[in-house]
Structure 1
Amino acid sequence: MRRFSVVAAAVAGAIGLTLGGTAVAGQPRAQPAERYLNLHQCVYVGSGGHYTNVLPNTANTAFNTGTNASNTPDTALSCGPGGGGWRPAPANSAVKAFDLTAGRYLNVHQCVYFSAGQHYTAVLPNTPNVNFNTGTNISNTADTTLNCVPGGGGWRLLLANSAVESFDLADNRYLNLHQCVGFERAVLHGPPTQQPQRQLQYRYERVAHSRHRADLSAWRRRVVPRP
């Protein structure tokens, strides 16, 4: 199996992780140096909205997370303190250590909820706010059905913005994770930027403010039966 780590930016971000060499049928699979993908989901509340970040290297550093790849599973959540009127929301935040030797597929479930003009995005299965948890997992089976708890308290699941994606960690060298954040007018679905409010009129920023590549090519070889 393989491991991965993540990255992001103030409005957008991307990351590429080297997983190792491509597996060949009948031969041992290449194993990366790090065993765990420690995914930190940090949620902030401010200005009547929610902002979810999973990446550690956005330009807006006060909102960065502790997401990493390591041989040690993280047990403590690591989130930036926020700022500009945006504060952490511990009930919706969590850290999950995914053991990348436990299965071939990283099945990421993105669940988006809507209430009174606000959106909230979740990707982890273990936040204290269980009504908004997801089915993200490591498995030898690729998930094809979205798994989201239905929400509550006036928040409903927004299927148009929700999806499940299965990343094959065996047959690909890179896991490229892109985080894109949009905003409209003076209401930001994310932390405040340094731009004047008059510029925040119905624009969608797609510029990658940062790019990070976690190179895990220093892998070790080990015989693991191919599922």
Structure 2
Amino acid sequence: MQAQTSILPNFTLKSGTTKVCLSPATKYPSAPGAEEKCNEQPVDESAVWGLVGPGGRTLGISPTAGLYGQASNQTSGPLAMGKKRYINLHQCAYYYGPGADLYTAANDGQVGTVFDAGTNVGNTADTAKNCGSGDVNYPLNDVNSGYKSLDLLGNQFLNLHQCAYYYGAGADLYTTVNDAPVGAAFDAGTNVGNTADTAKKCGSGDANYTFSDVNSGLKSLDTADSARGRGFIEFKMSAPTETNDYTHEAKLNGTSATPASGIVRVRPNDSGWGDWWLG
């Protein structure tokens, strides 16, 4: 898929101003929302802007150039998906003293809300762990419980690490999916990014709870969906000196959408540049 437009006749592209942005809250660069993420590397304007022709320079750029780990010189590529911003992953541990047994929950259990973990998705990062209180046999073990808010904006993969630790004296397995407050020895490397992890990342355990490799693992979940998206592409151009109104057109090639158009208005004492977006 390719976003296309051109510099208007007698206008000049301002070097280094081309941006590709995700903007879940708005599609207008002139009124950005609280959530916005633009290309991490400068757009390679020599690759995406064509040579000067009868109608001026032409732009052909991927709607995700420089985002989701894509190269910043891409002239075509997938359309970004729309999705919730955060995965709030809660890890709740419960301890049975007589059997030296730790039970871990990352989801709601079926035995009642006392063992529920508050894992959720939303557009706000959680600020505290949300765990059921446990019961008289398995009370909440606060030191081994925690949460991690994973920001999906501009990130393609959720790399979910599961780390198990074995206590031989009690034949107990303790499992983590987040960093454990008790210390790095039980941390799980769950993260988000634009690269799929290829190996599990787990703390080494300690003298009582040793790392159990056979019960540990990794799953990299690809959250991208090229069928949906919201964002904009922005650039600046210097205007000619005369006062005039110009019709400016853009389109998203590879869809059935009607080309978008707007008016670029040049007046005395203007700032000398205009912006364009296609959302």
Is TM-score (shorter-chain normalized) higher than 0.5?
yes
Aligned pairs for 1:31-46 within 5 A: 31-32=82-83, 34-46=84-96
Determine whether 1:129 maps to 2:180.
Answer: no
Alpha-carbon contact 2:81-2:226 (below 8 Å) kept: no
How much is the aligned-residue C-alpha RMSD, in angstroms? Answer: 2.3
Aligned pairs for 1:43-192 within 5 A: 43-46=93-96, 47-56=99-108, 58-116=110-168, 117-171=171-225
Match for 1:31: what amino acid? G
Indicate how the Cα distance of structure 1 residues 223 and 118 shifts in structure 2: closer, same or farther if over 3 A, else same: farther
- In structure 2, C-alpha distance between the alignment counterparts of 1:72 and 1:90, rounded to whole Å: 23
Name the structure 1 match of 2:240: none
Name the structure 1 match of 2:80: 29
Alpha-carbon contact 2:88-2:126 (below 8 Å) kept: yes
- TM-score of the two chains, using structure 1 as the length reference: 0.62
Alpha-carbon contact 2:78-2:226 (below 8 Å) kept: no
- In structure 2, C-alpha distance between the alignment counterparts of 1:135 and 1:223, rounded to whole Å: 33
Deviations 1:86-116 (A, max 9, x none): 1111111111100011421100110000012
Structure 1: segments with no counterpart, 5+ residues: 2-24, 174-218
Alpha-carbon contact 1:37-1:68 (below 8 Å) kept: yes
Q: Offset of 1:161 from its aligned partner?
A: 0.7
Report which structure shows greater RCO (CA 8 Å, sep ≥6): 1
- In structure 1, C-alpha distance between the alignment counterparts of 2:108 and 2:186, rounded to whole Å: 23
Matched residue of 1:160: which SS?
A: helix
Indicate how the Cα distance of structure 1 residues 57 and 50 shifts in structure 2: closer, same or farther if over 3 A, else same: closer
Alpha-carbon contact 1:41-1:53 (below 8 Å) kept: yes
- In structure 2, C-alpha distance between the alignment counterparts of 1:35 and 1:80, rounded to whole Å: 25
Alpha-carbon contact 1:29-1:223 (below 8 Å) kept: no
Indicate how the Cα distance of structure 1 residues 125 and 102 shifts in structure 2: closer, same or farther if over 3 A, else same: farther
Q: Offset of 1:137 from its aligned partner?
A: 0.4
Q: Offset of 1:48 from its aligned partner?
A: 2.6
Alpha-carbon contact 2:143-2:180 (below 8 Å) kept: no
Overall identity of the aligned pairs, in %: 36
Task: Name which one, 1 or 2, has greater alpha-carbon Rg.
Answer: 2
Which piece of structure 1 moves more, 123-132 or 43-52? 123-132
- TM-score of the two chains, using structure 2 as the length reference: 0.51
Match for 1:221: what amino acid? R
Count of residue pairs brought into register by the alignment: 155
Alpha-carbon contact 2:188-2:203 (below 8 Å) kept: yes
Indicate how the Cα distance of structure 1 residues 126 and 154 shifts in structure 2: closer, same or farther if over 3 A, else same: closer
Indicate how the Cα distance of structure 1 residues 130 and 220 shifts in structure 2: closer, same or farther if over 3 A, else same: same
